[in-house]
Structure formats: C-alpha cells, structure tokens
Amino acid sequence: MVDDNNSPGSPDKNRSPNPDGNASPESDAAIDVLARKDIGNASLAEGPIEQPAPLSEVKQEPYNLPNLYEWITCDIDSEETCMEVYNLLTNNYVEDDENMFRFNYSKEFLRWALRPPARIRVRDDIVTMAEINFLCVHKKLRSKRLAPVMIKEVTRRVHLENIWQAAYTAGVVLPTPISTCQYWHRSLNPKKLIDVGFSRLGARMTMSRTIKLYKLPDSTVTPGFRQMELHDVPAVTRLLRNYLSQFAVAVDLDENDVEHWLLPTENVVDSYLVESPETHEITDFCSFYTLPSTILGNQNYSTLKAAYSYYNVSTKTPLLQLMNDALIVAKRKDYDVFNALDVMQNETFLKELKFGPGDGKTSLLSLQLSLKKSIETIRAWACTLIVLSSKFTLRRGPFGSIFVIFCDLLLVVCSMLIMSPLSGMVLMRMFKSCQKLIDISMMTFEISCFYWETLIVNTTQSYMFGTWE
C-alpha cells in the first residue's frame, strides 16, 4: 500500500502486477527448491557452494512429462514460436492480486529480453550465469505440478552448457535473497490511473488538484539532453562500467551488451544521455523500458502503458534533474505511470519527484553462489512481518485475537531464528496460512493501530536490525 502521507493524491495501491513475480501460484514450492542450495549460511566462503560436476554426470535425457506433452526448445526468432510464447504469457502470466491487470509483453520486448548476453560480476569475479525468468504455466494445467519439473529441466539444460550459477527474482521473500527492493510509482496520467483502479484520489483532493499536482513541464531542461545513438555505445559503456564498479553485485557490461540492452528500440527501451555542449563528453545517462499491462474488465480502457526505470548514471547533472527530464520524455510519449525500484541511488529522487511507494517488492536471489552477507536480507524478513502484522490491525472476528497473539509469538521466534533458513521457510508457510485464515473471518475484535505500530517497530528494530545488521 502507498503511504497516504507521502504526497497528496499519490496512488494508494500498486495494483499493477509485479514484474518480478515470475511464477504461477503452484511454483512457490518449486522456487524453494532453487533456494535450498544457497541457504544463507554466513560461515560459507564466498563463491560457488558446490564445485561444477563433470558434464558426463549431468542427466543427458530430459525429465519426463505427462502423456501428450513434450519439451520444445523455443526459437524466438521464429515468428510462429514467438507468437505462441506471446499468447501464453498474455493470457496466463502475472496478474495483480485483484485480477485487474495482467502484463502484456510485446513480441519485440520478448525478443529483446530472451536473447541476451549473460554475465554478472560478484565482487571482483566475473561469473557466467543463467537468468531464470518467465516461468509460466497455462491456467488450465496448474494442477499437474509442472512448475517443479520445468525448474529441474531448465537447471539440467543450464548445466549441460557448463553453467553452474543462476540469478532469478521473485515477488515473494524466499531464503535467502541477495537483495530486496520495493517498487515506487509516479503518476503521469493520474485521471486514467484513478479511473481504472490503479490508484485513488488522496484525502481532501479533487481530480483537478491531483492532475495539477502531477503536471510536468512540456520540455526537458538539461542542456545537451538527447536520445542515445549507435555511436554513443563506447562512451555509455565506459560510463556504466565505472558507475557499476561501486556495487558488490552488478551486471558485467561490454559494448555488445550495451548495444543490445540500451540502444533505443521503439516500444521496448528508451535511453537518453547528456552530452556537454562544450566538450561533447557524455556525462550522464538515463533509461527506461516499456512494459504495458492489459486492463481487465474495464469498458473504457484496455491498456496501461508503464515505463520502468532502468540504468541511470549521474556525474555532472543532478540525478533529480536528470530523472525529471526522463519523466517529461515519458509523459510526452503517452506513458501512464513511471515505475522505479529503490535500488542504486534511486532513493535520492523518489519522494522529491512525487513517486509513491507501492505494495510490490521483488527479491533477487542467486542459485549456487554464496555471499557472506546478503544485502537487505534481514530487512526483507522484517518487511514480511510488518506486512503480516498490518493486516491484523483493523480486522474483526473470533479468530482475530487468536492470530494477533500468534503473530506476536512469530515476531519473537523469527527474531531469534532469523538466521536459520529452514525456520525461515517454515515461517513463510505459516505466514501464508495465517493470512488466508484471517481473511476468512472478520467480525468482532479490533486492535489498536498504536499498539501494533509500537510492537512492530520495537520488536523488529531491537531483535533484527539492532542485533543482526
């Protein structure tokens, strides 16, 4: 939920589907399988958890599927195959919790996303990795337990390529994430966002005041701000590599990567840079990619056009000014909302540019690679506890008081056992069960907001942030 105190008229809900919630509902347990190898043990040395096995020991035959089904290697360059993948994702991929929005990846976007180079730098080591993405099972087949088999099969194929590490993201917290981030949203077309249920009017706000609040200038203000071109690839590569060197884990980009990922492509990715009028040096860079969502059940609108902040580098131009120019460009291109994660230096401009925090979080995880200290791991668990507890704040019903006490106990137990990945998985399952059960009955008992706020802050800070961070 968006904090209504952030700014008047800011969207109160992120109903848009989580772009990193890759899995179908049945795949939660399947993704747990991927997380078990890297269990977040701080005593492990950094690097591969297990050494690569000889390729001769890797299973050579595909895993068995139910009758009438077979494995197909997708040739995304084939128009027919690309259309089949597009239709599968368009009709069956990630939706928001209220089934109001579903991602609508274009065929151009899929070709862009599914044909990448893939290397990640961990500290000073370059690691060739596979990226696990677009895990999707047709809605009619989700009772057949296909997701675990799909994960095992993709792992087998990755091993046959002599690749032993992988990176993936999840919209749920799994043990143990390398990093956990939150989505923030900046309204560009507030009237449409309110009309389709993506956001709502803030307290004491009218539609006209809300539109005025989010109005942007017609033109960018930074001298030398222009769209990236092919001849800019070497300069942008140098700029990005220098910027990303400050982070413990980052994509290892060369010129081929930059050309593939960042050279502007219509309705896929937009990139802009600042060229000094005096020296013609490339000093700053910003980019965003396009991911629309289908609006379900609305007679007036069919598509929500969303821009997602990508790579941003500021060396001369203030980042706040650079990103304001990016918002202006996105508005001119008729985007409805501009989304960003609170990663890198993004937090420095989010509130100033009237972004509101959404309820979507994404966790980055690594298979078969250990880091001594996971970035934001403890915060991820604390967020889980706070989200769970907040759902009890004003709930009513005979079960309410029971689960309030139960949640108290979980907060204390989790604070003591948080470093145990096994207990972490068990608690996550307990959280999900509690959440479903408490939603069944809401009739007679009300809990004080002040009590919960004090309990959550004191417990999580003293037991988690203070002790473990």
Q: What was the pLDDT predicted at 96?
A: 75
What is the chain's pLDDT, residue by residue, as a tens digit (469 residues)?
333 334 434 444 455 555 544 444 444 444 344 333 444 455 556 666 667 888 888 999 999 998 889 999 999 999 999 999 999 998 998 877 777 888 899 999 999 998 776 566 777 778 888 888 889 999 999 888 898 999 999 999 999 999 888 888 877 766 667 778 889 999 999 999 999 999 888 888 999 999 999 999 999 999 999 999 999 999 999 999 999 999 888 888 999 999 999 999 999 999 999 999 999 999 999 999 999 999 998 889 999 999 999 999 999 999 999 999 999 999 999 999 999 999 889 999 999 999 999 876 776 655 555 454 443 332 332 232 333 333 333 333 444 445 445 544 554 444 444 334 333 444 444 444 444 444 443 333 333 333 344 343 343 333 333 333 2
User: How far is 19 from 104, CA to CA, in rounded Å?
Assistant: 11
pTM of the model: 0.68
Name the 3-class secondary structure at 100. Answer: coil
- How far is 129 from 123, CA to CA, in rounded Å? 15
The greatest distance separating any two alpha carbons of the chain, rounded to the nearest whole angstrom, comes to 71
DSSP state of 351: T
Q: From 218, 182, 213, select the one nearest 353 (Cα to Cα).
A: 213
Rounded distance, CA 323 to CA 430, Å?
41
Name residue 195's amino acid.
Answer: D
Q: Which residue has the tokens 């809900």?
A: 13
Domains and CATH numbers, the chain: 52-370 (3.40.630.170)
CA distance 323 to 287: 9
Phi-psi region of 198 (alpha: psi -120 to 50; beta: other; left: phi over 0): alpha
